[in-house]
């Protein structure tokens, strides 16, 4: 196993020096989900929510979150992201049940010196939290979960995909 790069030789947290790294094309895809009552999902899908378009608001929040990742996570480098894409899917229900989960997938991309996994994960998390915030008045039992990196491309460590 590799050593933790955010700890110096004395075990103290520090920001990794990336000054000498070359810019390369990098991207990361992360996913997560939010599970809710079927009625809540129906309300979102039919556009009948009193607060407005849940998907549009959550997408904007996720994009803002990716751009602000270094403000939220102490040792992240500020990055000049060139693409942030957020997609929603209504995940198929178990046999005989109504759909009640929204899948969230985020792609973050840039040409830079460090990866974008944290930006993609942050965007997924804030997107899901925004859906929760907009819908909590009708469904307080929603569950956010399954947040993970699906793949990353570029950089010294190369490409990686979850199995």
Average pLDDT over residues 56-73: 97
Answer with the residue of higher pLDDT: 2 or 16.
16
Q: What is the pLDDT of residues 94-139, one digit of tens each?
A: 666 777 999 999 999 999 888 899 999 999 999 999 999 999 999 9
Architecture per CATH, 24-161: 2-Layer Sandwich (3.30)
Query: What are the tokens at 24?
Result: 């390369």
Q: How high is the pLDDT of residue 22?
A: 84
pLDDT at 4: 58
Question: Is 133 one of the catalytic residues?
Answer: yes
Backbone angles phi, psi at 93, to 5 degrees: -80, 170
Measured CA to CA, the distance from residue 80 to residue 66 in angstroms comes to: 10
Mean pLDDT of the chain: 89
In terms of Cβ atoms closer than 10 Å to its own Cβ (0-12, 13-18, 19+), residue 130 is buried
- pLDDT at 19 (0 to 100): 72
Longest dimension (CA), the chain: 57
114/66: higher pLDDT = 66
Predicted structure pTM score = 0.88
**Domain residue ranges of the chain, discontinuous segments joined by +:** 24-161
Is residue 11 pLDDT above 80, yes or no? Answer: no
Q: Which of 20, 53, 133, 139 is catalytic?
A: 133
C-alpha torsion sign, points 148, 154, 157, 163: positive
Pairwise CA distance, residues 17 & 31, whole Å: 28
pLDDT at 80: 93
**Percent of the chain whose predicted confidence (pLDDT) is above 90:** 65
The CA distance from 152 to 26, in Å, is 7
């Amino acid at each position: 196993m590799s050593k933790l790069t955010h700890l110096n030789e004395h075990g103290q947290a520090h920001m990794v020096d990336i000054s000498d790294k070359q810019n390369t094309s990098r991207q990361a895809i992360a996913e997560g989900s939010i599970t809710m009552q079927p009625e809540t999902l129906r309300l979102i899908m039919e556009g009948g929510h009193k607060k407005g378009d849940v998907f549009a608001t959550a997408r904007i929040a996720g994009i803002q979150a990716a751009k602000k990742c270094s403000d939220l996570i102490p040792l992240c480098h500020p990055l000049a992201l060139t693409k942030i894409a957020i997609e929603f899917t209504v995940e198929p229900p178990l046999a005989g049940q109504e759909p009640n989960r929204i899948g969230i997938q985020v792609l973050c991309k840039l040409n830079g010196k460090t990866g974008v996994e944290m930006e993609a994960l942050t965007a997924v998390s804030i997107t899901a939290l925004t859906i929760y915030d907009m819908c909590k008045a009708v469904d307080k039992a929603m569950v956010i979960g399954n947040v993970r990196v699906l793949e990353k491309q570029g950089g010294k460590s190369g490409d990686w995909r979850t199995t």
